[in-house]
C-alpha cells in the first residue's frame, strides 16, 4: 500500500480556520447514504442501549516561545509527551541551529536540550524554579493549534471538548468538539450511555506520512488509560446488544488497544503504537464519529480501513458539498464499518 494511495486534493479554502458557533451547529455527514445533516441530529441517529465512548484528555498549553541563552536567538518548543519529572519529548525550531546541551530561556521556564534534533524531534529537560512545572506551563505556554490553522482563537477553551478533564495531550480529540450540553441531554433522554477513556494525543497528529509505503511508517507511542467504569460500560453495552460508537480516531485506537476476547475491553493503562490500516479488523468498535482528515496521514489511512474503497466517494461528496475539514471542521458518522468481525 503506497502512501500515494491515501492522497487527495484538499483546497486551503476547505480547511476550517475558526470554530462554528454554537458547537453543535456543525454539519454531520451520514456516510452510509451520503445524507447531509446537522450535528444536532446525532441523537436521533443513535439507539437506546448504544454507548458513546469519548476521550476525556485535556490539551496542555504545550507551545513555549523563548530564546537560546548563549545567543539570544529565538526558539520555539512544542511539547508532545512527558517522559518523567524533568524530561519531555517535543518538536523544536529552528532545529538546524540546535544541538544537545543548548540552554533555553522559555519565560520563567529553564530548558536544556538533551538530544540532537532529528527531523525536529528532541528530548528537553525543563524546570521552573520555585514552581511546579505544570503550573508554569499553564502560565507561560500557549495552546498549540495545528499548523494549518492561521487565525488565533478568541477563547482557548474552544479547543477543549466538554469532556476535557485529564491534562496530557498536544492536540484536541476534535471529533468531540461538537458536543454541547443540549446534545448530551438529548442523548440521555434517548437512552444512549457515555463512557470516558483517555489517550494522550501526540506527534502523528501533526505530521504526514513521510515514507513511500505506509507499512514503512513508524507510529509514535501514545499513552492510554481505560478506567474500570469504561470497561464495565462496554461489557454492559454488549449484554444489551447495543453498539459501541467511538468518538474520534483516538478512541478507536484506545478501544482496539485494550481489546480482549468477546469484543470487550480490559481496564488498565499502557502505551500504543497501533496503526490501523486496510486489512485490520476492528475488535471492539461498531461505529465511528469523526472529522475529515488530512491527506497522506495515519488518520486518513484509518478511515480508509474503516470505510473501505468508499472513503474517496465520501470525501469527494464532502468537498463538493462544502463541508469544513480538519480539526475545527465538520463531522461524519460511519455506522457500518467494512472491517468489523
User: Of the candidates 325, 330, 332, 331, which has an alpha carbon nearest to the alpha carbon of residue 148?
Assistant: 325
* CA nearest neighbour of 128 among 54, 66, 210, 201: 66
pLDDT beyond 90 at 341: no
Task: Please provide the average confidence, as pLDDT, over all residues in the chain.
Answer: 95
Nearest Cα to 329, choosing from 20, 108, 7, 3?
A: 20
Residue 138's pLDDT is 94
Q: How confident is the model at residue 206 (pLDDT cuts 50, 70, 90)?
A: low
Length of the chain: 341
Tens digit of each residue's pLDDT (9 = 90 or more) over 290-314:
999 999 999 999 999 999 999 999 9
**What would the mean pLDDT of 202-208 be, rounded to a whole number?**
76
Backbone φ/ψ region at 296: left (φ over 0), alpha (ψ -120 to 50), beta: left
Using alpha carbons only, what angle is made at residue 327 by residues 324 and 332, rounded to the nearest 5 degrees?
Answer: 60
Q: In angstroms, rounded to a whole number, what is the distance separating the alpha carbons of residues 116 and 281?
A: 39
Residues 128/136, Cβ–Cβ less than 8 Å: yes
Where b means 16+ CB within 10 Å and e means fewer, 219-247 reads ebbbbbbbbeebbebbeebbeeebbbbbb
How would DSSP label each residue in 139-160? HH-B----TT--S--S-GGGGS
Helix (H, G, I), strand (E, B) or coil at 165: coil
3-state SS, residue 80: strand
Looking at the domain that runs over 3-59+154-334, which CATH code has it been given? 3.40.1780.10
The torsion angles phi and psi of 334, rounded to 5 degrees, stand at: -100, 105
**Mean of the pLDDT values across residues 331-341?**
91
Query: Which pLDDT score is estimated for 261?
Result: 87
Q: What is the per-residue pLDDT for 213?
A: 96
- pLDDT tens column, 19-75: 999 999 999 999 999 999 999 999 999 999 999 999 999 999 999 999 999 999 999
CA 165/CA 173 separation, integer angstroms: 12
The pLDDT > 90 percentage for the chain reads: 93
Helices (H) and strands (E) in the chain, counts: 7, 17
* Fold (CATH) for 63-140: Thrombin, subunit H (2.40.10)
Residue with cell 463541508: 323
Output the pLDDT for position 340.
80
The domain locations on the chain are 3-59+154-334, 63-140
d(CA 55, CA 177): 11
Amino acid at each position: 500500500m503506497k502512501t500515494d494511495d491515501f492522497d487527495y486534493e484538499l483546497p486551503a479554502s476547505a480547511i476550517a480556520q475558526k470554530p462554528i458557533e454554537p458547537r453543535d451547529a456543525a454539519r454531520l455527514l451520514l456516510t452510509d447514504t451520503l445524507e447531509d445533516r446537522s450535528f444536532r441530529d446525532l441523537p436521533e441517529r443513535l439507539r437506546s442501549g448504544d454507548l458513546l465512548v469519548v476521550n476525556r484528555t485535556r490539551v496542555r498549553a504545550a507551545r513555549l516561545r523563548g530564546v537560546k541563552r548563549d545567543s539570544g536567538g529565538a526558539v520555539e518548543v512544542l511539547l508532545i509527551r512527558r517522559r518523567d519529572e524533568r524530561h519531555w519529548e517535543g518538536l523544536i525550531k529552528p532545529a538546524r541551529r540546535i544541538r544537545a546541551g543548548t540552554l533555553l530561556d522559555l519565560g520563567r521556564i529553564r530548558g536544556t536540550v538533551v538530544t540532537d534534533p532529528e527531523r525536529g524531534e528532541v528530548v528537553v529537560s525543563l524546570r521552573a524554579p520555585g514552581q511546579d512545572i505544570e503550573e508554569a506551563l499553564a502560565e507561560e505556554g500557549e495552546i498549540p493549534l495545528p499548523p494549518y490553522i492561521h487565525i488565533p482563537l478568541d477563547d482557548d477553551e474552544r479547543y477543549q471538548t466538554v469532556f476535557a478533564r485529564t491534562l496530557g495531550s498536544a492536540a484536541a480529540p476534535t471529533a468531540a468538539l461538537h458536543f454541547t450540553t443540549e446534545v448530551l441531554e438529548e442523548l440521555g433522554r434517548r437512552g444512549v450511555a457515555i463512557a470516558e477513556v483517555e489517550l494522550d494525543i501526540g506527534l502523528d497528529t501533526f505530521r504526514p506520512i513521510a515514507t513511500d509505503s505506509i507499512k514503512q511508517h513508524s507510529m509514535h507511542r501514545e499513552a492510554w488509560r481505560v478506567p474500570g467504569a469504561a470497561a464495565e460500560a462496554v461489557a454492559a453495552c454488549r449484554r444489551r446488544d447495543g453498539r459501541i460508537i467511538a468518538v474520534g480516531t483516538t478512541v478507536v485506537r484506545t478501544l482496539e488497544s485494550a481489546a480482549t476476547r468477546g469484543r470487550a475491553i480490559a481496564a488498565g493503562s499502557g502505551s500504543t503504537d497501533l496503526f490501523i490500516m486496510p486489512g485490520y479488523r476492528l475488535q471492539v468498535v461498531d461505529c465511528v464519529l469523526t472529522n475529515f482528515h488530512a491527506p497522506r496521514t495515519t488518520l486518513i489511512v484509518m478511515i480508509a480501513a474503516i470505510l473501505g474503497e468508499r472513503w474517496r466517494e465520501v470525501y469527494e461528496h464532502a468537498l463538493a458539498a462544502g463541508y469544513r475539514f480538519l480539526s475545527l471542521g465538520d463531522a461524519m458518522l460511519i455506522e457500518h464499518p467494512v472491517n468489523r468481525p
